[in-house]
Structure 1
Amino acid sequence: MTSTTHPFVGRRRPTVPAVSPPGALTSWSVPYARRIAVTDALAITTAVAVAYGLEFPLRSSMAVSGEYSPSYLAVSVALCAAWFTLLTVGRTRDRRLLGSGTEELSRVCVVTWHLFAGVAIVGFLARMDLGRGFLGIAAPLGLVLLLASRLAWRRSLHRRRDAGLDVSPVLVVGPQHKVTTLVDEFHRNPRAGYRVTGVCLSDAPASAPDVVGGVRVLGTHEQAAAIARHERVAAVAVAGADAMTADAVRRLGWDLEGTGIDLALTLALTDVAGPRVLMRPVNGLPLMYVDEPRFSGSRYAAKSLFDWCTALALLVLLAPLMLTIAALVKLTSPGPVLYAQERIGKDGERFRMLKFRTMRVGAHDELAAVLAANGVDGVGAFYKLKDDPRVTRVGRVLRRLSLDELPQLVNVLRGDMSLVGPRPQIEAEVATYDRVAHRRLLVRPGMTGLWQVSGRSSLDPRTAMRLDVAYVENWTLAGDVLILARTARAVLAREGAY
């Protein structure tokens, strides 16, 4: 058998071609961004048209009142154009943001907010009495349509990525131990859209293995630019840029200039989201500040208000369904309709968490025997049996659809829980917490959370705990809204629940 060697292995400082070969970069992002642009335009036009149609049958004049009085048709056209333009200028369709994370959707929200705040300011300064109903319909409807269309496209993209399509090839560069970690992170989440095609090590060539993390070693960091061109990658990810010299990273950036290949730098800091990071250059050195997590103040008050209003609205909306479930539980299994269990909440405070009863009466006393029968020694964090014999027939359906959690809306109104947060656990589970796990108790527990929408009961305890702690330290109200949307999708798809 003839062995094959990559053309750059063994060479020193290859010359980077002046022109990138045709088709060198990933192509999925261009048509994907165009499709989003089309649906953005349709969403904006629909929202403004609906606002126009609903508002003006009730008005006697089709022109804006005030010193400057353009027609509302002209205002509508200008609003559509400005909205679409700001979505483009605001880089909401940047290929590096599309398909994963919350930054894309957050930018859409921020752009929309800035647009209508600007419209209000312009109207005030120009003394134009813009119809409140017109703006009050266009803004929220447009935002909902924009987010819904982008989430629909994202779901389609995830299906294609699950099939191995629409991914961006990446070359990872750095010392071996950091490269291994980064490759594992890329492989852990294929829906992020990256496929590592090779690695270049900054370690001594004599000690370099042929494969790192299941990926070929193609050369050294000095050869990375030429290898990136040859491999037609979309990005070069430097693993642990702090472990390489500043000069080496800077020269790599120079070598990639004009190629269209992105240069991404990773630091040895994980589970810290963008809102907590502030970059400030000091004498040409990028200095990164990391804000401490916020568990009080105006942002947390806004979260509490959002929780209370949303929980109240959901209780009113879902009252018929909840009454039906209560009747089914009562008729099919003797005992109370609701099950109240003591859980540990924010700052270690105890509260009674409500659920529709899904087990037979006295099930808690059988826990030790059931765990022993399934080979489980004691109670650990996130314990949950897949085939629990104590669950009733109706209870099994309620659990599968997560309908047993609906009474916790009352806990949200009481202030014991939040709509989004780490799931509340019993005292025995909290007793096993280490310092990292105790971070979960810094916020109110939630009806749903980051780990539920990332796999729910199918996740291993370590991953679930890491996701919960990441949420606690990086939560945002926009992120909560996205998690609630993903929860609805996960429930409807019955993903990971039992």
Structure 2
Amino acid sequence: MALLPHEQPHLLAVTSTRFHGRHRNHRSPLAVWESRYRTAVIMSDVLATALATLLATVLIGRELPDYLGQLPRLVSVAALLIVVAALPANRAWDPKILGQGAEEFRRLGKALVATAVTLSVAGVAFELTHLRLWVFFVVPAVGAIAFPGRYLLRRLLHSRRGKGECLLPVMAAGSVEWAADLIARTRKEPHNGWRVEAVCTPDGFGTDGTQEVAGVPVVGALGDLTERAQPGGYRVVAVSADPYWTPRQLQRLAWELEDTESELVVAPVLMELAGPRLHVSGVVGLPLLRVQAPTFGRAKRVIKNCVDRLGALILLTLLAPVLLAIAVIVKTDDGGPVLFKQKRVGQGGKPFTMWKFRTMVVNADTMLNELRASNQGAGPLFKMRQDPRVTGPGRLLRRYSLDELPQLINVFTGAMSLVGPRPPLPHEVEQYGSDAGRRLLVKPGLTGLWQISGRSDLPWEEALRLDLRYVEDWSLALDAIILWKTVRAVFSGQGAY
């Protein structure tokens, strides 16, 4: 079994491991660009490890007594081998996870943690006390070099994908509506690496009886899928639920695709879940998809809380001059208060006071009823692109999300997190259904998936889907990626008004 990247949470990849008819030991060959990209990632990781190890050898070697002789060099070689071995052992070079999603960085981090643990155990076992310097210096240094290296390679790959290069050809098999949705998603987010090039539908026809869906040709009915896919060179065959697909039919399809380049993926339409909550296991001979409840382990919760509070303290300290300058600008503009406080709903429905720089006129709340007819927001949200209540400095602050910086105080006090769902207003929560209410399972965030995906330009349904996806699939790696992408989203100003 293999899971697709987190950007495609509505699909579950399935790789058959059975034998059918005759012995098969086929593996889908990688495209030239895939092999080159994987090689570049490996070289980047090895170079990062070598640089960190060389630096540690120079620094630590000077601090060790002369009688230790060649020991520092031997330890350096051993540490280098341990790191390099930990990367493939944790599948950090698996082509399926390279280039998209948080899983790539999660596995890299897991490999580095495993290295640190191994060195710690070795230090205790062989009484090499100086290995503590390697655990607390070498491994973090490797991460400090390797993570940016991988990110730069990913940016280069995404740039090429945006030009229509380095994409995996996909055949979609399912209803016209599902195929159209998949085509739209892959075109909107080409960085995921998919390009739908052919479609099979239940009756062999596309939109309004034509032979295409969203410009992609319909090459046959579902019963023709194997015949059409085998000679087509498709790297992915994406199948959606349909009465035609009985368990026996899907099993036979997986067998028939074993000798092709195609990987079979099946959409679990009963749910939109992905990541660590999904587990496939066999029970009484049946393959079952186990779905665990979304929970935060105590260790992860403590780590997230520490990262939030420490990060907020560091940012408040570094940004103190910026905060002071903004306060002066807001105050001198109209003489009103600098900060705007508002009741928001936090984790578990607990209310808290959220702080922002004031970006509207002093009597903005009293003007709201007059403007409701001009509401451009979706769902319970009120938004206007040209809100007359926004002040001159306020427009600039909103464009670059500078008005939200005081929320770092909320993060430091524990009411909010650096990353999480958008903090809702009480009257918005009153309109929540059972699905939207799940956003309150975690702390609201200063930023989140909604922030890096369009902000105010997002429809309510899409914003809700992103928040629920965060609740379902939360991880420290996902938080790190969101924080990094927030910087780009803020500087672009897209969807901010």
Give the TM-score, by structure 2 length: 0.86
Q: Is the 8 A contact 2:383 2:456 kept in 1?
A: yes
In the aligned structure 2, how far is the partner of 1:161 from the partner of 1:195? Answer: 10
| CA distance in 1 between partners of 2:260 and 2:452 (Å) | 38
Q: Which structure 2 segments of 5+ residues have no match? A: 1-23
3-state SS in 2 of match to 1:453: coil
The 3 A distance-change label for structure 1 pair 73 and 357 is same
> Are residues 189 and 402 of structure 1, via their aligned partners in 2, closer, same or farther at CA, if it must alter by over 3 Å?
same
1:74–1:497 Cα change, 3 Å: farther
Offset of 1:292 from its aligned partner?
A: 0.6
1:253-274, CA deviations, whole angstroms, 9 ceiling, x for partnerless residues? 2222243332222212443122
Query: 2-side partners of 1:32 and 1:256: how far apart?
Result: 26
For residues 153-302 of structure 1, what are the structure 2 equivalents within 5 Å?
153-174=153-174, 178-201=178-201, 203=202, 210-212=211-213, 214-240=215-241, 244-294=245-295, 297-302=298-303
* Cα pair 1:62 1:71 within 8 Å, conserved: no
Distance in 2 (alpha carbons) for counterparts of 1:127 and 1:173 = 60
Q: SS of the residue aligned with 1:342? A: strand
1:182–1:239 Cα contact (<8 Å) kept: no
Question: Which residue of 1 is the match for residue 414 of structure 2?
Answer: 415
Q: Deviations over 1:375-426 (max 9, x none)?
A: 3289843432222232223222222221211111111122211111111122
Counterpart CA distance in 2 for 1:430 and 1:155 is 38
Of the candidates 37, 43, 48, which is equivalent to residue 48 of structure 2?
Answer: 43
Instruction: State the 1:206 CA deviation.
Output: 9.1
Give the 3 Å change call, closer, same or farther, for CA 149–378 of structure 1 in structure 2: closer
Structure-to-structure mapping, 1:34-183, within 5 angstroms:
34-61=39-66, 63=68, 71-174=71-174, 178-183=178-183
Offset of 1:446 from its aligned partner? 0.8
Q: Hey, what does 1:428 align to over in structure 2? A: 427
Match of 2:319, SS state, is helix
Contact 2:376 2:384 in 1 (8 A): no
Q: Deviations over 1:62-107 (max 9, x none)?
A: 84xxxxx962222223322332333234332322212221111111
Unmatched segments (≥5 aa) in structure 1: 1-18, 64-68
Report the alpha carbon displacement of residue 329 of structure 1 after superposing the two structures with TM.
2.0
User: Which amino acid is 1:110 matched to?
Assistant: K
- AA aligned to 2:107 is R
Give the 3 Å change call, closer, same or farther, for CA 333–78 of structure 1 in structure 2.
Answer: farther
| Per-residue deviation, residues 339-368 of structure 1 (Å, max 9, x unmatched) | 111112222222211011222222222223
Aligned 1:339-358 pairs, distance under 5 A: 339-358=340-359
Structure 2 contact 278–291 (Cα < 8 Å) conserved: yes
CA contact under 8 A between 1:402 and 1:491: conserved in structure 2? yes
Question: Are 2:365 and 1:364 equivalent residues in the alignment?
Answer: yes
What secondary structure is seen at the aligned counterpart in 1 of 2:80? helix
1:452 counterpart SS class: coil
Output the amino acid matched with 1:368: N
Q: What is the CA–CA distance in structure 1 between the aligned matches of 2:424 and 2:97, rounded to whole Å?
A: 35
Q: What CA distance in whole angstroms lies between the structure 2 residues aligned with 1:241 and 1:112? A: 43
Identity of aligned residues (%): 38
SS of aligned partner of 2:97: coil
Mapped to 2, the partners of 1:161 and 1:212 lie a distance apart of 22
Aligned residue number for residue 20 of structure 2: none
Output the TM-score relative to the length of structure 1. 0.86
Q: Which amino acid is 1:99 matched to?
A: G
One-letter amino acid of the structure 1 residue matched with residue 369 of structure 2: A
Retained in 1: the 8 A contact 2:29–2:261?
A: no
1:402·1:497 contact (CA, 8 Å) conserved in 2?
A: yes
| CA contact 1:173–1:179 (8 Å) conserved in 2 | yes
CA distance in 1, matches of 2:134, 2:241: 51
**Does the C-alpha gap of structure 1 residues 270 and 52 become closer, same or farther in structure 2, counting only changes over 3 Å?**
farther
Cα shift readout 1:429-464 (whole Å, capped 9, x = no counterpart)? 223222211111222111011111122222222101
Partner Cα separation in structure 1 for residue 98 and residue 29 of structure 2 = 20
Distance 1:358 1:464 in 2: 23
